[in-house]
Amino acid sequence: MRPRLKPIAEQVVVITGASSGNGLAAARIAARGGAAVVLAARNGEALERIRDAIVSQGGRAIAVTADVSSREQVDEIAQRAIEAFGGFDSWVNNAAAGIYGTLEQVPIEDHRRVFEVNYFGTLHGSLVAAEHLRRRGGGAIINVGSILGDRTIVEQGPYSATKHALQALTDTLRMELEREGARISITLVKPGGCGTPYPEHARNYMDVPPRIPQPLYHPDVVGDAIVFACATPRRTLYIGSGGLVSSLAGQVAPRTTDRIMELVGRRMQQHRTESEDPAKRDNLYEPRQDGEVCTDQAVWMRRSSVTVQAQKLPRLGLLGLAAGGILAGAQVLAKARR
């Protein structure tokens, strides 16, 4: 039974990891579209500033301080949404933690922590949301994965592993809910490189500050796709042609892609000319300075994505996605030849 989703203006949307980056971008876009937003993250002070800004502009929002690695705290997010707005219609699992370093450099406890946040946090949110949305008669669950769930990269093994796990979690959740006839849309959003504060917030075992490789997209592009999925059923939404090309290359020519990653992957993720703000560095176990959509690094970001817009088209989304991938691949080959 195909889910029937409300227009965004009639929805209550829960967003985890809403204190920065893609989650904050999605919260602002949803609020501007008329939705009531439930902002959840560990940094309560930052969330309160974000909530106050949304309310001052005529929006509706509440802030819930929570760590998604705790099932009890995720339950509290849902309970607060029920108390404030009578429930919710969409739940966005966006909270994530990152690490730069080789598999040997990263201590086992840090590997586990990344899984606790990225995988188990999404599992907690998905189970809580599914239980509520069954009773409500339907809705949407949006999981924010990554292109690294298709094609891993050196120096981000633990993070990539969690995003591979999110692919399996999302697909399993979709099948189980469809089998029982639940009218719940399940979408996996797969961003490529985005200009979020991820490099500042990630724990770093490299000897220089980290960065996200180009091409980069503004977090608003991801936020727009997330909000679109709240109101429009889609299985998967890829963000950006660069990430799509990486995914396709990894499937079509995996060994060649491995070699490219081995040669340039580490250098692409190092920012040798950039200094770090120690107040933002490393939020793996504790929240740090927060509240910004974009990275501090001086990078150029694209403000739109043809790949995303193609996937929004009814029935033609897959055709547009394929065409976008072919076009992007041709552009990459042309640059390589030059």
Each domain of the chain, given as residue ranges in start order, spans 8-337
332 pLDDT band, cuts 50/70/90, is: very low
Can you name the residues that pair with 249 across neighbouring β-strands? none
Distance CA 289, CA 214 (A): 25
**Radius of gyration (C-alpha) of the chain in whole angstroms:** 19
335 pLDDT band, cuts 50/70/90, is: very low
State the catalytic residues.
159
Q: Indicate the average pLDDT of the chain.
A: 91
Indicate the pTM of the whole model: 0.91
Q: Pick one of 3.40.50.300, 3.40.50.720, 1.20.200.10, 3.40.50.620 as the CATH number of 8-337.
A: 3.40.50.720
pLDDT in tens, 100-122: 999 999 999 999 999 999 999 99
319 pLDDT band, cuts 50/70/90, is: low
Q: Mean pLDDT across the stretch 172-188?
A: 97
Q: Mean pLDDT across the stretch 130-143?
A: 97
- Of 275, 122, 258, 259, the C-alpha closest to 188 is 122
Q: Mean pLDDT across the stretch 244-253?
A: 79
Cβ atoms of residues 231 and 13 within 8 Å: no
H helix intervals, the chain: 21-32, 44-56, 71-85, 108-115, 121-136, 157-179, 198-201, 219-231, 241-252, 254-268, 306-312, 317-337
Kindly report which listed range (23-37, 75-89, 233-247) carries the lowest average pLDDT score.
233-247
Q: 3-class SS at 71?
A: helix
Q: Mean pLDDT across the stretch 208-226?
A: 94
For helices 108-115 and 157-179, angle between their N-to-C axes, nearest 10 degrees: 30
62 pLDDT band, cuts 50/70/90, is: very high
Q: State the residue for tokens 């609020």.
A: 31
Cα end-to-end distance, the chain, whole Å? 50
Distance CA 332, CA 93 (A): 32
Q: What backbone phi and psi angles, to 5 degrees, belong to 104?
A: -75, -35
Buried b (16+ CB within 10 A) or exposed e, 292-312: bbbbebebebbeebebbbbbb
pLDDT at 269: 83
Instruction: Return the half-sphere exposure (C-beta side, CA atoms, 13 A cut-off) of residue 173.
Output: 27
Read out DSSP for 99-135?
EEB-TTTS-HHHHHHHHIIIIIHHHHHHHHHHHHHHH
Distance CA 59, CA 34 (A): 7
Distance CA 271, CA 268 (A): 8
Structure tokens at 231: 């109101």
